[in-house]
Amino acid sequence: MAFLSGLSAFPITPSDRDGRVDTKALRRLIRRLCAAKVDSIGLLGSTGTYIYLTREERRAALAEALDEAGGQTPVVVGVGALRTDEAVKLAQDAKALGAAAGLLAAVSYTPLTEDEVFEHFSTVAREGGLPIVIYDNPGTTHFHFTPALVSRLAKVPGIVAIKNPTDKSEAIESHLAGQRSIVPEGFSIGYSGDWNATEAMIAGADTWYSVLAGILPEVCMKIVRASQTGDAAEARRLGAALTPIWDLFKQFSSLRVVYVLAELLDICRAELPRPILPLSAVAKRQIVEALERLPAGIFR
């Protein structure tokens, strides 16, 4: 089995208007994920707004999450930063605290070349001492990992997995097969993009890196387990039942929607980091209506 497999749930990082992390609310979120028995927790990913937090805030959030998880659920933590030396320090912090792996994106202001990204990732893996998951997130970084670059990085000691974006569901199977052919055995291949993840898991992906699972893990676990046991029909049925949520993710972004879901479900109330603004009352009403359209009992 790959180092990372199954469902990796990505919670928000609750904070107040001034960006101070609400550790009690974060612990509540982590507790829910552990109770649902997710396979790993993706702390401080894009949904966890890592890029808006200082090194000290990230370290404090990770310490709280790891303490709440109690060593029972592996924690993968975002270590991305604009500068290589900062990313190395974040990886070292994560290793010292006990994280299972670091999630590293090609964050940049100046567009990066493939050689620059290769050196960045290789340095963080080597000097950070923490297993690294490649985070291919062109929607925010505007950098896409080519097959050639993935193949090079997969051979670097300490780089153990990749979190791919998804586009068209019908292209996932061929993408997965192509990527399997260029990475070493045991290298974990996973996908984000929740609305296409069911097809990715049915196709044989190792991991679903899920935004929705960070707030509603139970139904996402059902999809993953159905896929893993070969029950594609049940996985697709559950995935299709979530269409109202997927449509909202596409319309407003998954980040904005899950903040509203956390409040509506009385899990926690958190402020988006500025300059991101909260959704309007009209948009929030759409989310309420979407929840009402979901089949009864789907979240249990």
Residues with Cβ within 8 Å of 53's Cβ and at least 6 positions away in sequence, in order, are: 13, 19, 21, 44, 61
Q: Is the pLDDT of residue 65 over 70?
A: yes
Q: Is the pLDDT of residue 206 over 60?
A: yes
**Residue 17: predicted pLDDT:** 83
Q: Is the pLDDT of residue 299 over 70?
A: no
More confident residue, 294 or 11: 11
Q: Is 163 a catalytic residue?
A: yes
Q: What percent of the chain has pLDDT over 90?
A: 93
**Residue 174: predicted pLDDT:** 96
Q: Per-residue pLDDT averaged across 45-53, rounded?
A: 97
The residues with which 135 forms a beta bridge, in sequence order, are 105, 163
Q: What percent of the chain has pLDDT over 70?
A: 99
Q: Is the dihedral of CA 44, 50, 55, 60 positive or negative?
A: negative
Residue 47 marked as a ligand binder? yes
Q: Per-residue confidence at 2, pLDDT binned at 50, 70, 90?
A: low
Q: What are the residue boundaries of the structural domains of the chain, listed by start? A: 6-293
Pick the catalytic residue from 50, 95, 135, 191: 135
Q: Is 135 a catalytic residue?
A: yes
Q: Single out the residue of 139, 77, 128, 81 nearest to residue 109, CA to CA.
A: 81
Q: What's the rounded Cα separation, in Å, for the pair 287 and 291? A: 6
**109: left (phi > 0), else alpha (psi -120 to 50), else beta?**
alpha
Pick the catalytic residue from 95, 163, 191, 222: 163
More confident residue, 167 or 208: 208
Q: What's the rounded Cα separation, in Å, for the pair 82 and 109? A: 7
pLDDT digits (tens, 9 = 90+) for 240-273: 999 999 999 999 999 999 999 999 999 999 999 9
Degrees to nearest 5, angle at CA 261 with 244 and 298: 55
**How far from 281 is each of 15, 53, 260, CA to CA, in Å?**
21, 27, 10
**Residue 239: predicted pLDDT:** 96
The domain defined by 6-293 folds into TIM Barrel (3.20.20)
More confident residue, 168 or 157: 157
Average pLDDT, the chain: 96
Q: Is the pLDDT of residue 111 over 70?
A: yes
Q: What is the full DSSP assignment across 69-110?
A: HTTSS-EEEE---SSHHHHHHHHHHHHHHT-SEEEEE---SS
